[in-house]
Every structure is written in C-alpha cells, then in structure tokens.
Chains A and B, each alone.
Chain A
C-alpha cells in the first residue's frame, strides 16, 4: 500500500483554481519532490495535505486511511508533520521546549497532574526530556537546548523545525523549502540530515524545493506543478530532462 495517495485533488479560491486535478502516489520510504515556478500551488498542496484548507474536490489517503477534509490536529495525529516556508518556531520557548511541544500528544498527562506535580508529571517530564534531547542530538542542536528558539542561527532554526516535526513521530514528513536562504555549505549539510533522518526514522518525505542541486541530489521522484496542474511526474532524471519542464520552469 502506498504511503500517500492523492486523487484528483482540487481547490478553488473564488475563480482561481490554485490546485487543479492533482494526482500523486508516494510509496513508503520514498523521498519525493514537488517542484514548480513560484505561485504554482506547491504550498497550497501542503496546506491541503495538512488540513489547513479543505479540498473542493478529490481525496487524500494516508497509508490507506482517508484523511480528506480532516482538521490539522487530526491529520497530525494520523501521521503527517510539516515544516514551513517562513520558519514558524515558538520563539519565546527554549529549543528543548519547542521539541517538547512536538511531543505533546505522545507523552500525555492532565493539566491537574501538571499543576499538582503528581508523580505522573515528574515521570512523564523526565521521559519527554530524554526523548527531546535524543532528537536534538540527532540534529546537532543539543548544545542550544536552553536558548530561546528565536535566538538560534538561521540554519539551526530550520533544523529545529524539522526536529519538532519529527517529535510527533510522523509517517510522512512534509518539508516546505528546507534549503531556502541557505548557503551551499548549509544546503549540503541539510541534504545529509535529510538522508540521515530517512534512514534513522524509517520515514517517507515529501519536499518542496527550488534548489535544483538539492532536488536532483536527494529526490527519487518528482512532480512538477505549473498553474496548479501537474506538468510532469516520474523519476527525477526523466522529469528534469522533460522538454516541457525545462520550458516552464528550469529555463532553456
């Protein structure tokens, strides 16, 4: 069974068809890329997949489960986590607490148990700290754990967003332009990180990216979006040599 199955997905904003009849199948463990010119509707696809918008038409299946039209919280619980194009961290929480917010649903205790500091509070917090530190270590952020997230260097903020998403233990991770604003060194490091988390966590990744070096370097399959419609899809090398893709996006 495929990890993500998108059938004929469309959304209209008034007269604008931001996403128009998109179909896409991502197999378990794949590293899949979604590319296309600015305004093609890539982030809108992410917003549809994560329940920020409800699709006008079409259906979305995650690992066989119909998640069409569910809200963001339920979709996260079903197993999709994401990062954002413009970084959205909890700036006034510490780096460690940012990850612990990601662990919110996996390590529950009630508000009352928290206020009264019952044994379950202490036990759960200890487990959370352990798990969060392990994740921070994977992303090389452990040394920053007590900094405010807003005070992190840019590259580290991007990584922290991924760490926070991974804390929710998703089956499918959506990365929205993870390399935006990074220099070639940082991008190289990011590619290593993405490879590493895929093997370490046994996860499927869908990413939006403009950096062609990154896309051709790590994505196994691609879908190219143009004006909300699928222009091409398939294995990375085939898609990138497709004349229509070159004409619409890459430039001749």
Chain B
C-alpha cells in the first residue's frame, strides 16, 4: 500500500519534472522520426494529413484532463470551447486577409485572440457555476456546447468596404455592400480558411500546452486546485479561495481547448458548427478517462490511439465500428481492471505509459 511517489532514479529532479522531461523527449523523438519518414516519402498522404489532427486532439485532451483530473470538475462541453476558438480565429484570419499579408503573423494573432475568446467563454460560464458544489458544471457545459452550436448555425458574418456586419437572419446575408464577402455563412460555416496548421505547429503547441499544464499543477495554484478536488472543506479551512482557484483551473482548461480549436480551424479548410457537437465532447472525455485522470501523457497516448484506430480499421469497412468498440473495451480493461493492473505491474513495469494516480490502491 505504501507506494512511494518519489522513486526517482534521476536524483535531484522532482518526479513531476522528470516525468515531463520523459514525455517531452518522447514526443520530440516521435516528431523527428516521423519527419524523417515523411521526408523520404514513406508516409501516405492521408496519414501525413492526419498527424496535425492527432496533435489537436492531444491538446484538447490535455486541457480537459486539467479540468477533470486535477480540478475534479466534469466538463461535457469542451468541443464548445474548441468551436469558440475555431470560429473566432478563422474569422480573424479572413477579416485581416487584406490588412496583414503574412500568413504566420495573421495566424499568431488569430491564435492569441481565439485562445483568449475560449478562455473568456470559460470565465463567463464559471462565474455562476463554479460557486456551486456538485455536478452542475457538467450540465451547464453540456448546455453551453449545444447553445454555441445552435447560435453559430444561424450566425452570419460578412465583411465589405464599410466594415464588418453580422446577423442572425439568413436574408441579410446578401445585403453586403461593395467588396462584400461572407466570413461565417450560417450552417455552412467558414469556408476557405488557409491551411496553416502543420504537424510542426501542432507538435510545438502540444509541447507548450503540456509544459504549461505540468508547471501549473506543480505550482502553488496547482496544489490549491488539487486540494479543492480532494477536500473542499479542508481547503477552505486553510484559507484557500475555492471559487478563485476553480476559476483559474477552468479558464486555463477552456483556453487550451481554444488553442486546439484555432488549430482545427486552420487544419480543415471548412469548419461548420455542427462538427463541434456532443459526440466530440464525449470523445475528448473518453481520451481523458482512458488515458488516466491526472495523467497528461496518458491523455496524449489515448488521443493518438483512439484517433488512429478508426483510420487504420478503414479497410474492414462494415466491421470497423464493431472492432473499434471491442478494442475500446479491451483498452479500458487494460487500463483499469485490477487483475490486469497487477499483471502489468509484475510483467512490464517499463511499459506503463497509461496508468493513473487514481488506481494506486490497486497497484
């Protein structure tokens, strides 16, 4: 039972730092290998296209893990925060297409504003909800995701020489003046966003997000967040402002989902609001739960495996979803069943890439 947290071989380094170093160097190694393979033409077009997508899902999974694993609050609307980031950033890219010629600079600006917009959405939701105890956040974020989707489906944004125009009425879409161009076209979404998100940018932002959340959870703020998760009343009794720190954690988590959304909008040339639906939120949650609550590395592995699986099973046509679900169950057992965990602890301690702090009682 008495499992030491600190069994570090690299003495002097905090276990969390060591863990982060391993994950980062692993990701960098993967990046180098894949870049070499792709440079020598060893990667199919569809596969190399998928790489940036893997980074995007990994980023949002890491962000949600901060919320679910460390803050202990269930969010069922992270796709909603992604869509805020995606639509705001793509709108900026389109609106500034004439004034800023550099793709890179425009993307950077879109990235910053998109992230802040998603964080702001998180803040606004958090104001009423994070004051309450219990599973209210799950319900409200679920509603938020659906409301954002519904609003964006009837939202029209256009640009002409006079400036920006928006409307929730379809007919107004055709009343743009000289030089008019639609940016957000209701249910058809945003079309023709330049494809800026590459594997390199995706990986760079994944690494940044990973370092940010790891440093966060191992700081004073992170301890406060985890203390609230473990025992709210005790945290309050030692002078921790519950609402404040819940808010900090939730806003950062939403902001990271916004980063993923920005990348997503510049990854697919067309985005529609209906892509960011409840299924996507649940999929992200599955990454987090399967990868292990409080385990960022596990979130990344789960996001990659579960995004690649359906692609790899494409050849099986009709049996694809059947096999996918069976594999999902197997993975779940692999990660949570006590007997399997014992076996894993015995047979292959080096391979425990998955794993969770939650299961320490079984280990």
Contact = CB atoms under 8 A, between A and B. Distances in A.
Contacts of A89: 230-231, 234
Contact of B3 (A77, A107, A109, A151): A151
Interface in A82-133: 82, 84, 88-94, 97, 100-102, 104-105, 107-109, 111, 114-117, 121, 124-125, 128
Interface residues of A, number: 42
A76 interface: yes
B313 interface: no
A168 B248 contact: no
Contacts of B318: none
Interface string B232-244: 0111111111100
B6 A91 contact: no
Interface string B340-363: 000000000000000001101000
Contact of B220 (A91, A114, A151): A114
Contacts of A93: 223, 226-227, 230
Contacts of B242: 73
B31 interface: no
Contacts of B236: 72-73, 76
Contact of B230 (A77, A92, A108, A147): A92
16 contacts: A73-B241, A89-B231, A90-B227, A90-B230, A91-B230, A92-B357, A93-B223, A94-B5, A104-B224, A104-B238, A111-B216, A111-B220, A111-B221, A114-B221, A115-B212, A148-B3
A167 interface: yes
Contacts of A168: 238-239
Contacts of B3: 147-148, 151
A111 B230 contact: no
B248 A148 contact: no
A245 interface: no
A224 to B, nearest CB: 25
B2 A81 contact: no
Contact of B240 (A101, A124, A147): A101
Nearest to B2: A151
B334 interface: no
A164 B4 contact: no
B49 interface: no
Interface in A29-51: 50
Nearest to A71: B236
Contacts of B233: 52, 84, 88
A240 interface: no
Contacts of B360: 148, 151
Given A73-B236, A82-B237, A117 B215 contact: yes
A43 to B, nearest CB: 12
Interface string A196-230: 00000000000000000000000000000000000
A70 B281 CA distance: 40
B241 A88 contact: no
B238 A88 contact: no
Interface of A: 50, 52, 72-73, 76-77, 81-82, 84, 88-94, 97, 100-102, 104-105, 107-109, 111, 114-117, 121, 124-125, 128, 146-148, 151, 164-165, 167-168
Contacts of A72: 236-237
Given A92-B229, A115-B216, A147-B4, 7 more contacts: A73-B241, A76-B239, A94-B6, A111-B216, A125-B220, A151-B360, A164-B238
Most central of A84, A92, A97 by chain B CB within 10 Å: A92
Given A104-B239, A114-B215, A146 B220 contact: no
Contacts of B326: none
B248 A165 contact: no
Interface of B: 1-6, 212, 215-216, 219-224, 226-227, 229-231, 233-242, 248, 294, 357-358, 360
State the majority secondary structure of interface residues on B.
Answer: helix
Contacts of A90: 226-227, 230-231, 234-235
A72 B237 CA distance: 6
Contacts of B221: 111, 114
A77 B88 CA distance: 42
Contacts of B357: 92
Given A89-B230, A93-B223, A111-B221, A147 B238 contact: no
Contact of A73 (B223, B227, B229, B240): B240
Contact of A101 (B1, B5, B238): B238
A147 B5 CA distance: 6
A101 B230 CA distance: 12
Contact of B215 (A84, A104, A115): A115
Given A94-B5, A102-B238, A168-B239, A114 B222 contact: yes
Contacts of A101: 223-224, 227, 235, 238, 240
Contacts of A147: 2-5
Given A101-B240, A111-B221, A92 B226 contact: yes
> Chain B CB within 10 Å — which of A77, A90, A108 has the most?
A90
Nearest to A78: B239
A88 B228 CA distance: 11
Q: Among A52, A76, A101, A128, which residue has the most Cβ atoms of chain B within 10 A? A: A101
A168 B234 CA distance: 12
A110 to B, nearest CB: 8
B1 A104 contact: no
A26 B156 CA distance: 68
Nearest to A128: B220
